[in-house]
Structure 1
Amino acid sequence: MAELNSDNGPAFRRETEQVVNEIAQGLRTLDAGAGWFSRLAPTRQQQVLQEVAGYALQAHITAADGRAGVARSGVKPTATPAVMICMDPPRYGFAGLPTAEHLKAFRVLVSVFAIADTRRRETYCQGACGHAWHNLPAATEQP
């Protein structure tokens, strides 16, 4: 696992991809992922938010995914990240939110991504998926 403040960008992106996809596939809880995120430096948190927003965009999230994800995230629907993701089309720019909003944004983005990505795994990728991130081995929960 990469160090939390490491300058090794590619390793950190792989770690982020692993954590987010484990949450999306139920191999890691959202709370455990939020704990991982909370231990990151604010600049790393911004990088993670940009990366996860990119995953959500690639998963073709909808406003309905946004509403379902917010309900799953534990974040109030009136919080800025929740409002942003529920817009039609969803609004991005989560990394530009104040630092105090980063954890809420992470919870919302990962929850929405999990819903959209699950739909894609069950439809487009069912049975013949070549995406490595859709075929994660069962792992033990990590903090």
Structure 2
Amino acid sequence: MEEIINKIAQDKLDFKIGLQQLLPYNFDELFVTLNNYIINSIPNKTDYNTEAYQNALATIPLKPTYTPIVILKTYPAKIAMSKLPLLPKRENIKTITALLWIFKITDTERRNTECKNGCGHFWHEIY
């Protein structure tokens, strides 16, 4: 699962193809992994609100009226992340799509800024 997520984030695997490969995984495990990845990829640990995070929210490839998207855009990141797993199961695919997209954007920003001269993150080296 981690390899697929990182390959998507690094444009080594098409987003839609990678998403389809992730969907069979357990939602709770996938959610926790993506949540942790997002939190770690955002440099501002005070409120997790960066330009990259806002750009990710604005460009999620889903209708902006879908419940997970509304939650992500309405609440601060930490609060939104606590609300998403409480949604009905029918929202799981939308939630995973949104989180995968957010990680793709925020990790790309991190790789292009703080990690561009080497960072020691093994996943930036092996995937």
**TM-score, scaled to structure 2:** 0.80
Q: How much has 1:73 moved relative to structure 2?
A: 3.5
Correspondence list, 1:104-143, <5 A: 104-137=94-127
* Structure 2 gap segments, 5+ residues each: 43-47
Which residue does 2:23 correspond to in 1?
38
Which residue does 1:10 correspond to in 2?
none
Where 2:109 maps in the other structure, the secondary structure is: helix
**What is the percent sequence identity of the aligned residues?**
28
Q: How much has 1:124 moved relative to structure 2?
A: 0.9
1:83-117 per-position Cα deviation (integer Å, ceiling 9, x unaligned) = 22223522103332221111111111011111111
Correspondence list, 1:71-86, <5 A: 71-86=58-73
Distance in 2 between residues matched to 1:63 and 1:99, nearest whole Å: 29
1:19-63 per-position Cα deviation (integer Å, ceiling 9, x unaligned) = 1111111011111122113333xxx11210121011111112536
Q: CA RMSD in A?
A: 2.0
> Is contact 2:64–2:70 with CA below 8 Å preserved after alignment?
yes
Distance in 1 between residues matched to 2:100 and 2:66, nearest whole Å: 15
Which residue does 1:54 correspond to in 2?
36
Q: How much has 1:123 moved relative to structure 2?
A: 1.1
Correspondence list, 1:94-105, <5 A: 94-105=84-95
Correspondence list, 1:18-37, <5 A: 18-37=3-22
Distance in 1 between residues matched to 2:69 and 2:4, nearest whole Å: 21
* Structure 1 gap segments, 5+ residues each: 1-15, 138-143
Which protein is richer in helix relative to its size? 2
Q: How much has 1:67 moved relative to structure 2?
A: 4.7
Equivalenced residues, count: 119
